[in-house]
Amino acid sequence: MNKLYILLLLVFSCTICLTSCDETKKNYETLENELDTISEKQLQLLYGIERDAYTVEQYKIPRNTNLSGIFSSLGFSNVTIYKASRSIDSIFDVRKIKAGNTYTTFFEEKDSTQQLAYFVYEINMTDFFVCNFISADSIICYTDSKEITTRELGKKGTIESSLWNALKEENVPPTLSLELSEMYAWTIDFFGLQKGDSFTVVYNEQFVDSTSIGIERIKYAEFTHIGEKIYAIPFEQDSVVDFFDAHGESLRKAFLKAPLRFSRISSRFSHARKHPVLRIVRPHHGIDYAAPTGTPVRTIGDGVVVKKGYYGGGGNMVKIKHNSTYTSAYLHLSKYNKNAQVGKRIKQGDIIGYVGSTGLSTGPHLDFRIYKNGSAINPLTLKSPPVAPVKEENRAAFNTIRDSLISILDTI
């Protein structure tokens, strides 16, 4: 009895008791995955083609080469090249063939000579098109996609220099830092991370042919910042899944911690700072974020644009009134976004402009300011109120989920 038959019997047996045992369900899913793997290996499929029946070779598209040039190098006549190009053009714009992308040829033996049976071009990591050269007059082309597999992974790490480097050291795609910064955008200032801060995260990563194509999503996490543990526990309430801390408070707040995704603080709030251009001591009632020209600037909260224009040393500025208490201002912008129209209501996270160096400035940066009842305050000390917490009637369900996920995070 071969391995494939044994696995089929096991899968059938597990199916009978699926309704009575969660563990059996997990076993079934594992066996099903193994069965798929065995079937794939037995057939030795490549792009859905039985590769063992052909001589297979893979290449990279050279620079300054088009599809006609590739077909010509394969010995095609001008007539065949024309017919093939016409067939491909009905499913893919041949002008978008990119240098460096992979193409694969499948040759078969016919009358002691090798003839091209299939030509495959990888459009991107997942999508490709196939041309089946049945004959010089019969060419069938179609598009297809590789199977994407998703794995749930858990990692933990400690900040030594930056979150990006910490993730890299743990062999985690550094793009996970973008996902973490989005999740904790209201509660952690990622420009103020300190050595010794740490994180534990469970996430889904997608793979094609055992190669990672990126992070699908973060499932739950814990981030320790300046000694404080901040959990991100997913919970559905009012048909919306949101993230909450261990106390059931929403991670989303009325204001974002910072108006830029990634940058560094180049100058802090001060009542007496030596101005870098004027060379005199005067107050600097804002936070300077050094960033390249053109970096998008986001509003920290919902509000109405009350000012927009050139304001002397502050250069191009946008000011937003959030409520009767708070107003925020964004200075030295290189240009404005179309959202930045006086009187227009905008939402938290909307792009209102782009980093620049207008006004009195020694280089591209954003001067970000917050006013409380008309007086400037230090943006880094602003305590932003959260949005709706877990409702009292949902507390028991939330606590059960919280305790379970925290237990898993503690074991990673």
Residue 213 to residue 228: CA distance in whole angstroms: 33
What would the mean pLDDT of 195-224 be, rounded to a whole number? Answer: 93
The residue with greater pLDDT, 135 or 350, is 350
Cβ neighbors of 51 (< 8 A, separation 6 or more) are: 44, 45, 106
pLDDT exceeds cutoff 80 at 23: no
- Residue 404, both tokens: 């379970």
The full set of domain ranges for the chain reads 3-43, 49-145, 149-244, 264-381
Range picked from 73-82, 132-141, 303-312 for highest mean pLDDT: 303-312
pTM recorded for the entire structure: 0.62
Eight-class DSSP state of 250: B
CATH number of 49-145: 3.10.450.350
Q: Pick 149-244's CATH classification: 3.10.450.350, 1.10.1370.30, 3.10.20.30, 3.90.550.10.
A: 3.10.450.350
Q: Pick 264-381's CATH classification: 1.20.140.10, 1.10.10.10, 2.70.70.10, 2.70.160.11.
A: 2.70.70.10
Burial code (b: 16+ CB inside 10 Å, e: under 16) for 146-160 equals beeeeeebebbbebe
Residue 257 to residue 216: CA distance in whole angstroms: 24
**DSSP secondary structure string, 81-93?**
HHHHHHHHHTTS-
pLDDT tens digits, one per residue of 217-262: 999 999 999 899 999 999 999 888 999 999 999 988 888 888 887 5
The residue with greater pLDDT, 13 or 130, is 130
pLDDT at position 271, please? 47
What would the mean pLDDT of 208-221 be, rounded to a whole number? Answer: 91
Largest CA distance in the chain: 89
Q: Which of 185-189, 315-319, 330-334, 351-355 has the lowest mean pLDDT?
A: 185-189
pLDDT at position 323, please? 83
Cβ neighbors of 72 (< 8 A, separation 6 or more) are: 81
pLDDT tens digits, one per residue of 356-404: 999 888 889 899 999 988 888 888 878 777 778 999 999 999 999 999 9
